[in-house]
Structure 1
């Protein structure tokens, strides 16, 4: 969840055995996993759900047009993210928010425009994510987000994040709508699932990296269920706040937290020394 054991390994290896005096530091391109991380992540997933619905309703571009527009915007932000030399809270979380919207739109396109059943899209995204993890681990030997310090690892990371959002959207819709469990009950269900992962990690020693990615996947349908519950009409199982109010509310909280983190740098991961030969 917080990659506690992985962090311990990282801390123990802060000075690598072959590190030479004066070695420079490599900074991870992603934040430290703290409570702030999980709060903003859930908020971003909620915004991804409601903002996708809002843009589709208000822009008049159709689902395909909105998908192309948001994908282009995401590409621009990711270029900025890749060009940064270290973690920057504003750029990073803007990319997460946009990838949340795009992941939602990809799933919605498959369901609404191509008639792909939610069971099928959920399975396809699960296989795609597993393939991304398989290639990532095979090439880099780790799936830890504490080691996102090269271009290749960052590529694998963002590809995996995209698939987690698409998978979470499809799985969330499958549980809440196809299985007719309702948004509120679905949110509680996913909360319990995350709690079970946390218990397995902290009490039973489940691998930190595995725990992190399972929880990361589950926060997507959790956020989507919360977003749908708040925004959908009362007659449809929601509170009826609407997509505008829900999106603005959550975006405001995200902005406040990101500004706070940008100023305090409380979520900046500790660097690992890099020897000249590794640079």
Structure 2
């Protein structure tokens, strides 16, 4: 009798678990959701002209409503769960964009802040519940910690992904390879016996820059080394339809619901406690290697990803200067004037006002051309470098008219002008 009661209790707890089993379907939809978070946020903010802050407010309200629905469910339901993930992916992206575009917080700082915030969430979660496993999401506090961690991972992944592009000048297509390689290493470590909870959350964080860069690659203009030119709307529709089809499949087949203790058997198949720390060392070494790669790429001659291939000469296109190197020989008053004009473009982008952005770009180009005779003799290399970034901006606004490309081009010039 006691055994039967315990078995029924265990089965009941497994049945009430509020998140899906981690299968290939889980990771497929997660990547689809992260791509939607990047492209759909840009489309609503810029293409519809809603504006960054207003879009963030709207999605915060939507997130609260959808999360309320998810929290009220008694067990995992694919429709409620994955709708919450889609909305939180958009919301997390918008929060990072506000820090970067609206408040001017450097990406390295927002990445650091979100890293600390995620560590605090995990620390408090562990101190209270003594587990971070998603197989134990059977109480309201644990579910609250889970969704808070998910929100922070999306914000962190957005900041880290954008920072990578800023540091390296890689195009979105190339930048997909780094998180993909790191995820492959994590999967290999998991199969060799690494801690399943640790590997899950590391992979979960890395799928954010992977999906975001994939979305940028699909939506960015069809220019050399940039993207496929689908645009943010088409990209969002494609991935939303894919998510809907997959969720419908999971709802009908229930293949991501594993009842009883099957997930425990599944975890034990790969988990080897004696190998945990050596494999932590492997993943740490991979992280250090990625840092070295990023540092090396940052030091190589390049322009920002938005400006690649758009410079007036091959030398300018392959040149990379720091902000200090680019503006040190130009009069501070002139630099401040250009900086103010570019800040106005950033404001127009945040408001989604394309007409105002076009006017601002025209005024900026005229002012830059008027000062060429004065500035170029002072530092021809720096002038060519900034001019190549200006050409990328002019092309993105007048030809591509893609919000993602416009945003990257404006950010590149803002970084250069300090």
Tell me if TM exceeds 0.5: yes
Pick from 60, 78, 99 the counterpart of residue 71 of structure 1: 60
Pick from 210, 217, 223 the counterpart of residue 222 of structure 1: 210
1:206 deviation in Å? 1.4
Counterpart of 1:94? 83
Aligned equivalents of 2:114 and 2:24: distance in 1? 27
**Would the alpha carbon gap of residues 267 and 246 (structure 1) be closer, same or farther in structure 2, given more than 3 Å must change?**
same
Alignment TM-score, normalising by the size of structure 1: 0.88
**In the alignment, does 2:46 pair up with 1:57?**
yes
- Give the stretch that moved more between structures: 209-218 or 227-236: 227-236
Pick from 160, 163, 170 the counterpart of residue 181 of structure 1: 170
Matches within 5 A, 1:103-114: 103-114=92-103
Determine helix, strand or coil for the equivalent of 2:12: strand
* Structure 1 unpaired stretches of 5+: 1-15, 273-279
Pick from 236, 240, 244 the counterpart of residue 233 of structure 2: 244
**In the alignment, does 2:131 pair up with 1:136?**
no
Q: Which has the larger radius of gyration?
A: 2
1:201 deviation in Å? 1.5
Counterpart of 2:201? 213
Matches within 5 A, 1:1-279: 19-20=5-6, 23=9, 25-26=12-13, 27-203=16-192, 205-235=193-223, 237-271=226-260
Determine helix, strand or coil for the equivalent of 2:99: helix
1:49 deviation in Å? 0.3
1:130 deviation in Å? 0.6
Aligned equivalents of 1:142 and 1:269: distance in 2? 20
Counterpart of 1:12? none
1:185 deviation in Å? 1.4
Aligned equivalents of 1:176 and 1:47: distance in 2? 19
Higher share of residues assigned helix:
2
RMSD over aligned CA atoms reads: 1.7
Do the aligned partners of 1:28 and 1:269 also contact (CA within 8 Å) in 2?
Answer: no
**Would the alpha carbon gap of residues 92 and 175 (structure 1) be closer, same or farther in structure 2, given more than 3 Å must change?**
same
**Would the alpha carbon gap of residues 41 and 22 (structure 1) be closer, same or farther in structure 2, given more than 3 Å must change?**
closer
1:79 deviation in Å? 0.3
Aligned equivalents of 2:161 and 2:3: distance in 1? 45
1:61 deviation in Å? 2.3
1:233 deviation in Å? 1.2
Q: Which structure has more RCO (C-alpha within 8 Å, separation ≥ 6)?
A: 1
Alignment TM-score, normalising by the size of structure 2: 0.59
* Structure 2 unpaired stretches of 5+: 262-418
1:20 deviation in Å? 4.0
Determine helix, strand or coil for the equivalent of 1:25: helix
**Would the alpha carbon gap of residues 206 and 68 (structure 1) be closer, same or farther in structure 2, given more than 3 Å must change?**
same
Aligned equivalents of 1:201 and 1:30: distance in 2? 20
